[in-house]
Chain A
Amino acid sequence: MTCQHCGQRDATVHLVELVDGLRKSQWLCAVCAGRASDNGDENPGFPFGGSGEEGEGEDGEFSLASFLGQVFESPGDTGMADLSACPVCGYTLDQFRKTNRLGCPGCYEAFRGPLLSILSHLHRHVSHLGKAPHPFAGGLDRPGILSRARVSLEKAIGAEDFEKAARLRDQIQRLESAEPPEGDS
């Protein structure tokens, strides 16, 4: 597929924006996506940005909320993302090794293999057992949180940690009583 902006280079970035609740989708090449992202050239490959709409928010302010609806996907659904670079932000495994920092939340998926071994070394565990954010509509896998909470509850009862068990029981009740999200996410 060619870039829908310049019509020349191959499209490698799928830019999806939610504008006033409507899904707006564009396939762009890395160059055009980079231009759309910001005026400078700091992150030419980075596919975020206001696509020239910066500063045109309602009260003339650049709104973060407009960004939050944006979703980026890698081209095709091959699931064969190049492991050496994050398809979302272009950060490479090599950069991560040098800085010990990741480029964006998407890097956790892109570099999952190497990260899991680092995490098990750092934390001796690779599963999050703490709180989850309030589920955004259609956002989170609520059944996943529920099943994890149930497993933790059983463990807590087994360990006779009744304070923790009570907390988990309350959490499960809250999750069960919450409205299920509409549709699939």
Chain B
Amino acid sequence: MNPFFENFRDRVPDWLDARGPASDIVVSTRVRLARNLKTFPFPHHASNVELGTIFGDLTRRLMRFAEFSGGWVLGMEQLDPPMRKVLLELNLASPALVKEPQHRGLVVSPGLERAVMINELDHIRLVTFRAGLDPTAALEDALGIDASLENEVEPAFSEDLGYLTASPADVGTGLNVSTLIHLPGLVLAGEIDKVLNALRQLQFSVRGQSEEGSTVRGAMFRIANLVTLGKDEQEIVDDFQTHVGKIVIYERSARDQLYARDPLGIEDMAHRSLATVRHSRLITAQEAYDHLSNIRLGAGLGILEPLQPGLLNKVLVQQQTAHLELASGRPLTSREKSAARAALLREVFAAE
């Protein structure tokens, strides 16, 4: 077994520790740079020999970087399907990487705050994470690794179009900055559609929590920039910071107004959810997301006793299906998953 997966329940990403800016609302920020090698076809059009060459060469080079020292090389082909899904649930691997594992994989840093996906949609997809809303720090980190890579391999770059990517949606800076944000106040106040539409007007994409799904669970949204041309990296990140920063302010004020208007209702919701996760024997994923959302809201408003920082983020990741299956060491039926999820939540939220 790849050593990455030994004691994987303790291997919690640093960026889930809730110690970043606006961590009461924003779980994490991710920056991604898409890069390609100048003389190879893009991964979906490349031969297996080419893909194998690229994977071998890039992993060797990256593992020599200080940023990845002590980290891991995770070849998707060598991993069992539940392990691949765990990487997906950690947001380290993308659905594309899981679907087509051959000669594809990633290099991950020890704190899981940096990763390079190799032969995903592009040859190189460099990602960095930060706790809370901190796109500038994540960008700085990503550009540092990018500069080191450019000392070693020549990227596909055009003078007028910038970094050339498999999809024209990423060309230019190849920069995607996204954030996972919890907006229960705006959802309960019925303001969420207005806010999300405004964001879409400003050329941002808004989706549910998971990389693939558009389903919104537990009022968690993923906001990302769409425009990669006509602005430099810092401008893209500054615009993102400005607009997401405004949403953080709207969310805080929506929460305060809701609580002021109906304190008993909000308190009941938070306590009821905490009681549910403390005592249930079967909990589906959808239920878990909803209760965790209410508990997060209650803790944020000071209704519930303070929780250990990052605990809610950690459990949000660990209650997912592949994490539960890998922890039990075998495939689970959906009833068994609900039972395992309930057991995890009881343990995490056990009353003192």
Contacts and interface: CB of A to CB of B under 8 A. Distances in A.
B44 A130 contact: no
Interface stretch (A6-14, A39-47, A74-82): A39-47
Nearest to A96: B168
Contacts of B45: 43, 46, 89, 91, 101, 103-104
Given A104-B45, A128-B173, A133-B150, A67 B155 contact: no
A67 B49 contact: no
A144 interface: yes
B38 A105 contact: yes
Interface in A22-57: 37-40, 42-43, 46, 48-50, 54
B75 to A, nearest CB: 16
Interface string A82-101: 00000001010000000111
B61 to A, nearest CB: 8
B231 A129 contact: yes
Nearest to B166: A101
A63 interface: yes
Contacts, number: 169
B215 interface: no
Nearest to B52: A62
B324 interface: no
Nearest to A121: B168
A148 to B, nearest CB: 8
A62 B151 contact: no
Nearest to A144: B159
A177 interface: no
Given A67-B40, A134-B147, A164 B235 contact: yes
A130 to B, nearest CB: 4
B53 interface: yes
Contacts of B155: 133
B143 interface: yes
Contacts of A133: 150, 154-155, 157
A61 B56 contact: yes
A16 to B, nearest CB: 11
B229 A127 contact: yes
B161 A128 contact: yes
Q: How large is the interface on A (under 10, 10 to 19, 20 to 34, 35 or more residues)?
A: 35 or more
A127 B230 contact: yes
A89 B162 CA distance: 20
B102 to A, nearest CB: 12
A70 to B, nearest CB: 5
A68 B167 contact: no
A103 B230 contact: no
Interface centre among A50, A101, A115 (most CB of B within 10 A): A101
A122 interface: yes
Given A119-B229, A134-B147, A70 B159 contact: no
Contact of B232 (A63, A109, A129, A141): A129
Interface in A100-125: 100-105, 108-109, 115, 118-119, 122-125
A140 B39 CA distance: 15
Contacts of A49: 49
B331 to A, nearest CB: 33
Contact of A123 (B39, B153, B172): B172
A42 B38 contact: no
A92 to B, nearest CB: 11
30 contacts: A37-B47, A38-B48, A38-B49, A39-B49, A43-B46, A46-B45, A54-B49, A64-B53, A71-B39, A72-B39, A89-B45, A99-B44, A104-B40, A105-B42, A105-B164, A119-B229, A122-B226, A124-B203, A127-B161, A128-B159, A128-B160, A128-B161, A129-B232, A131-B232, A131-B233, A132-B162, A133-B157, A140-B157, A145-B159, A164-B235
CB-based closest 9 A-B pairs: A125-B230, A128-B162, A64-B57, A105-B156, A130-B173, A123-B229, A104-B41, A38-B47, A38-B49
